[in-house]
Structure 1
Amino acid sequence: MHIGILQTGHAPDALIESTGDFGVLFQKLLANQGLTFTVYSVVDMEFPDGPEAADGWLITGSKHGAYEDHPFIPPLEDLIRAIYAADRPLVGICFGHQIIAQALGGKVEKFDSGWAVGRQVYDWQGQPVTLNAWHQDQIVAKPDDATVCATNEFCEYAALIYGKKAFTVQAHPEFDSTFIDLLATHRGPGVVPDVQLAAVKDGLDKPNDNALLAARIGQFFRERSIA
């Protein structure tokens, strides 16, 4: 099964050199899921010809806001709606989670309670799931088609499932401890409060559920289900 990765931003240069850009991170995360990949740098206006260019699609994270005025956002929203109408499985992570919701009738805002960074525990249909997060924006109104499958006190719509069409997650299963540590060092100071950056460092040696999410993403692409 061939997956088109729609890359909507770039990691800081220092991270690209050591861990790879966002598209590479997802290829590493999903390396055992029997998938092949093509990366389209949509943030640089590199778009596929249409939904049929891949069997399924994944939209990455980004430093940009879904509600901001960037040249790539309107055509990306058009492509999201085309993928949805064409019934190709669609996965979105962080910004991808948000832009899919926005394109399908939801609302995204900069959250007035601040940032979620580092290890976050979510109630995933009654089970605790721990993932790294890095966001201030979040979905504040979900599309009618979306059902909540994960939540916590900070992020009400932490993961959404749109029937058999789309599966989206606010957190970052592609961020391992090395990447989140480097991100806190290179993109955190002056942006994220120091106390939260210190908490990121304190949580680096603790376990997460990245492998579980990789399996669920792979299952959704193959079976249109995360059950």
Structure 2
Amino acid sequence: TGSTYPEVVNAAGDYDRWFLTALNAKNLVVTVVDSLVDQLPEPRLFDAMILTGSSCSATEMNPLLDAFCGWIRRLADADVPTLGVCFGHQIMAKAFGGCVQRHAMGRQFGTVVVTATDAGRRDFLFNDLDETFDVHSCHEDVCTQLPENATLLASSPKTINQSFAIGKFLRAVQFHPEASTSIISQLHDSLVARGQLARREPGFQSAAAESIGKRILANFIQFAMQTRHHAH
């Protein structure tokens, strides 16, 4: 949905490229759709869907984002394994009646320590992870109230709703499992240059967060492949 800062695109690619790199998507056939520009595809044509981050805000709804919410509900109706990330997490929450607002503590950036709930520890998304783990974070908005049909999977001290599930097939994370250490560094420099972030001290990000993020994405893809196998 939209694009990141031009200098970040030049250095590390856009939102879609971050995922393709993190997924090491050699064995995946990937279709990239910009929900602001492209026609939203028929959900049943896909084995899995990832809703990426965005420069848009789920606090400022418009007809395009309303249509996107309707399409997300169609993904759920079609039992398509779907992962929402950052904006994707927030817009998924909105699609099912949750609330999204500006974060009361301002932009959250850098490494965040996340703790899985009891449900999260049992969930496929966090397979092979400790109960508490490091993730990369960069967001101004936050889901302040989950949809009634959502299950909380993970929290952090400043962002209670870090991850949730809706039913068997929909998962969402506020953090960025696709973001490498270098992408977070690029975002830091861009935000500082724009006056949107105070410069952080060296070491504001954990080296472990990148590999943990890749593990989470791999867990999602594995679930989607198993689901597809059983469906055929």
Shorter-chain TM-score range = 0.7 to 0.9
Work out which of the residue numbers 151, 154, 169 in structure 2 matches 1:150.
154
- Conserved in 2, the CA contact under 8 Å of 1:66 and 1:99? yes
How far apart are the structure 1 equivalents of 2:27 and 2:171? Answer: 18
Pairwise mapping of residues 28-177 of structure 1 onto structure 2 (< 5 A)? 28-31=21-24, 34-43=27-36, 45-125=37-117, 127-177=131-181
1:206 and 2:182 aligned: no
For the residue of structure 2 that corresponds to 1:40, the secondary structure is: coil
- Conserved in 1, the CA contact under 8 Å of 2:59 and 2:102? no
Q: Larger % of strand: which?
A: 1
Query: In the comparison of the two structures, how many residue pairs are matched?
Result: 212
In structure 2, runs of 5+ residues without a counterpart are 122-130, 228-232
Q: Shift in Å at residue 98 of structure 1?
A: 0.4
Work out which of the residue numbers 214, 218, 222 in structure 1 matches 2:221.
218
In structure 1, runs of 5+ residues without a counterpart are 1-7
Work out which of the residue numbers 18, 24, 29 in structure 2 matches 1:25.
18
TM-score by length of 2: 0.84
Q: Shift in Å at residue 93 of structure 1?
A: 0.1
How far apart are the structure 2 equivalents of 1:23 and 1:171? Answer: 16
Q: Relative contact order: is structure 1 or structure 2 higher (C-alpha 8 Å, sep ≥ 6)?
A: 2
- CA deviation digits over 1:105-160, x for unaligned, max 9? 11111121212101101002361111110012111110122111110111111011
Structure 1 vs Structure 2 CA RMSD: 1.8
Of 45-54 and 82-91, the range deviating more from structure 2: 45-54
How far apart are the structure 1 equivalents of 2:216 and 2:41? Answer: 29
Letter in structure 1 aligned against 2:223: F
- Conserved in 2, the CA contact under 8 Å of 1:173 and 1:214? yes
- CA deviation digits over 1:31-90, x for unaligned, max 9? 2684321000113x2123321232221100012211214452111111101111111111
Of 159-168 and 26-35, the range deviating more from structure 2: 26-35
How far apart are the structure 1 equivalents of 2:205 and 2:165? Answer: 29
TM-score by length of 1: 0.86
Q: Which runs of 4+ in 1 moved over 3 A?
A: none
1:179 and 2:183 aligned: yes
- Conserved in 2, the CA contact under 8 Å of 1:151 and 1:158? yes
How far apart are the structure 2 equivalents of 1:54 and 1:172? Answer: 23
